[in-house]
Structure 1
Amino acid sequence: MSVVQKLLQVNWAVVLLICALAGIGAGMLYSAANANMDPWAERHLVRFGVLLVLMIGVALTDIRVWFRVAYPAYFVTLLLLIAVEFKGTVGMGAQRWIDLGVIQLQPSEVMKVAMILALARYFHSLSLEDVRRPLYLLFPLFLVLAPAGLVLKQPDLGTATMLTLVGGAIFLLAGVRWWKFLLVGAGVGAALPVAWNFLHQYQKNRVLTFLDPSSDPLGSGYHITQSKIALGSGGVFGRGFLEGTQSHLNFLPEKQTDFIFTMLAEEFGMVGGLILLGLYLLVFIYGFAVALTCNNHFGRLLALGLTVNLFFYVFINIAMVMGLLPVVGIPLPLVSYGGTAMLTAMTTFGLIICVRVHKDISIPRRGLQGEVI
């Protein structure tokens, strides 16, 4: 298939949808800086412009290339996570970034995509009967738990939880039986009292604040209290662009990253929030549609896993700012400020489009012993 043919297979309406999400992000970052493009909105748009080209490049790359590089990409990212332990940059009380010279990279964000690639390749090589044998699940368990453990040590409970949730979702989509999830869930539930003792104090405070936000409104409960005030003050139609009092009077913390949806809801109200959610819903529908129409197992699992990952990003971030989940550092894709987060999101979109462009390409399903399934 020529490059021109591949370009014709790209759903450009979805590309415009992605541009719309990034545009909303730029608008909110402009507002967050009190009607100033610096320091967030301008960088956000420049990054998006560069990464839009990367996204198209990822989409046009033969899906068999992504199949071949799935394991190398995973283990390189795993090495970067290990490197963070020794040479990582500390920011906001956590050691999560590594300086690569041209960029401050957060390997835990990249790992979300690399892990999905590796799991999709592994389960592509298994028959349904093999998937249901516990012995064949040991390697993919390692693929999930190794990075989750390293990320938890940084500490980053939110990202570690996301890695585990997305990994579990791919296990389910690959055909692992329900009773195994129930067994793991029971084990996790039994281990929670022990795990509680290993949490950092600020993590315990976040959980306790989630259960009772009014217990410390000026301390650990400050973030969520101010977020709820901003959400409520927006009403149905909002206070108007650049008119949010909670954000512009600096009551709302991290308004350019984790709490950017709160600022949007304050300025544009429930209507603005629902419009943004509607745009994300269209992205999810597209991702699932791509998976259902793909003719190779690797592509199906890849598109499903990436779409589920995007869903968790959006769901956890919005549920967090509404007080439905404990506060964790999960950005809103293409709206929150952040270089690595945008890199991850644009690579995700590129891979989903790649599955659509190459949906009719056959990738031989050879089992672990080399036999054709």
Structure 2
Amino acid sequence: MADFQRLAPELRSHLKRKPGLWVKLKLDPSLLVLLLAIMSFGLVVLYSGSGSSEIAVQKQMVRYGLALMAMLFVAQINMRHVQQWIPLVYIFGIILLVAVLFSGVGAKGAQRWLEIPGLPRFQPSEIMKLVVPLTVSWYLANQLRPPRLIHVIVSMALVLLPVLLIAKQPDLGTSVIIGASGVFVIFFAGLLWRYLIAAAILGAAGLPLVWSGMREYQKQRVVTFLDPESDPLGAGWNIIQSKIAIGSGGINGKGWLQGTQSHLDFLPETKTDFIVAVLAEEFGLLGVCLLLTLYFLVLVRGLIIAGAAILPFDRMLAASLTLTFFVYVMVNVGMVSGLLPVVGVPLPLVSYGGTSAVTLMVSLGVLMSINARRRLPT
């Protein structure tokens, strides 16, 4: 008792200690350091992939700055205070997707953008990358877990509606990402194995229907994936050149700015979809493994945050956003290396572009907000 009385003032002082800067900013320092490392790596590779363009690097740095500001802003938001608005945001997102089909702006054979007076042109599908997991998490958080069959059906309907609308634009890559984000939420809600097996059987049975509904260029991508050498100077050119670039890099790579496939214009889309092939050619297997290690550490940290979350809504949402981030990596690396069909998914925080970077950083801002929610009083 005497020892407790002697230590009581010290304990009270410890409990009253003011939170540190990271806690006040609601940022996770380890996650932030990993993201900055990936961005820095991306700028180095982008400089080479863009043909030593300082303008491209400067523009990407500005986009990174905007993405970081967006992440910081979203991290300050308590998700509990926005849950009541999630259904309305989902409905609004669906309305925007429908508007794209009827009055969207087309480019490169796709109709994915909206132009609203007073606003810059934007893609509603990018908004749904966050809205869909938010909506499914909100719905399942209010149900018993593991979810009953009716709740699984409703959740899948919430996922499939935007997925089908986006696939109609067409934008197969984004529809895959959004579909995965919603399915991850359902899985982490405690989905029973019999539902997973039934879904796999139904999915396999529905492949002929999916094939018949695909556009001709989408079918060509699948055929090219299965046998790229069947048309080496046409549809198979991109993936063949990508494989050559990856293989020619070897273990250590040819050296920064020394890639032949990219600098002699054999390799397509060196700033965006195929930037990892530039990385593999110039930095070799070691460079690719280093970048993948950084991505893997982001995955681990995100799942730790999800596992430590107190509320079911936070836990399901955090796990979904983390795995969706990793799906970006796996799909991009898979398609560039010929393991998956080319679907136009960028490499997170490395590929050139601002919309994807901002969307990803906003989702990671949500992750940091969830982490801060268990450390600060709400």
TM-score w.r.t. structure 2 length?
0.90
Q: Could you give the per-residue CA deviations for residues 294-342 of structure 1, whole angstroms, max 9, x where no partner exists?
A: 1111110111010110111111110110100111111111111122111
2:162 to 138, 147, 154: 147
Shifted more, 319-328 versus 179-188: the winner is: 179-188
Q: 1:338 to 1:99 in 2, by over 3 A?
A: farther
**1:358 Cα deviation after fit:** 0.4
Provide the rounded CA distance (Å) in 2 between the counterparts of 1:42 and 1:189: 46
8 Å CA contact retained: 2:181, 2:320: yes
8 Å CA contact retained: 1:224, 1:323: yes
How do 1:233-272 residues align onto structure 2 when only pairs under 5 Å count? 233-272=248-287
Instruction: State the partner residue of 2:78.
Output: 62
Instruction: State the partner residue of 1:312.
Output: 327
Instruction: State the partner residue of 1:116.
Output: 133
Question: How many residues get paired?
Answer: 360
The letter for the 2-side match of 1:18 is: L
The letter for the 1-side match of 2:213 is: F
Instruction: State the partner residue of 2:294.
Output: 279
8 Å CA contact retained: 2:306, 2:314: yes
Instruction: State the partner residue of 1:12.
Output: 29
Name the % identity.
Answer: 41
Provide the rounded CA distance (Å) in 1 between the counterparts of 2:201 and 2:108: 34
8 Å CA contact retained: 1:110, 1:340: no
Instruction: State the partner residue of 1:93.
Output: 109
The letter for the 1-side match of 2:253 is: G
The letter for the 2-side match of 1:163 is: I
Cα RMSD (Å): 2.0
1:229 to 238, 241, 244: 244
Instruction: State the partner residue of 1:288.
Output: 303
**1:17 Cα deviation after fit:** 1.6
8 Å CA contact retained: 1:3, 1:60: no
Q: 1:85 to 1:3 in 2, by over 3 A?
A: farther
**1:5 Cα deviation after fit:** 7.4
**1:54 Cα deviation after fit:** 1.6
2:317 to 283, 302, 327: 302
8 Å CA contact retained: 1:296, 1:362: no
Provide the rounded CA distance (Å) in 2 between the counterparts of 1:268 and 1:69: 46
**1:221 Cα deviation after fit:** 0.7
The letter for the 2-side match of 1:15 is: L
1:193 to 208, 219, 222: 208
**1:89 Cα deviation after fit:** 2.0
Q: Could you give the per-residue CA deviations for residues 121-149 of structure 1, whole angstroms, max 9, x where no partner exists?
A: 111111125x1x22223332221011010
Instruction: State the partner residue of 2:12.
Output: none
Unaligned runs of 5+ in 2: 1-17
**1:108 Cα deviation after fit:** 1.6
1:28 to 18, 23, 45: 45
**1:361 Cα deviation after fit:** 7.3
Shifted more, 190-199 versus 309-318: the winner is: 190-199
Provide the rounded CA distance (Å) in 1 between the counterparts of 2:79 and 2:239: 42
Provide the rounded CA distance (Å) in 1 between the counterparts of 2:77 and 2:202: 42
**1:153 Cα deviation after fit:** 0.4
Unaligned runs of 5+ in 1: 364-373
**1:206 Cα deviation after fit:** 0.9
Provide the rounded CA distance (Å) in 2 between the counterparts of 1:216 and 1:271: 31
SS in 1 for 2:206: helix
The letter for the 2-side match of 1:57 is: F
The letter for the 2-side match of 1:32 is: G
**1:207 Cα deviation after fit:** 0.8
Provide the rounded CA distance (Å) in 1 between the counterparts of 2:142 and 2:19: 28
8 Å CA contact retained: 1:206, 1:327: yes
Instruction: State the partner residue of 2:67.
Output: 51
Shifted more, 26-35 versus 242-251: the winner is: 26-35
Q: Could you give the per-residue CA deviations for residues 259-308 of structure 1, whole angstroms, max 9, x where no partner exists?
A: 11111111111111011001101100110000111111111011101011
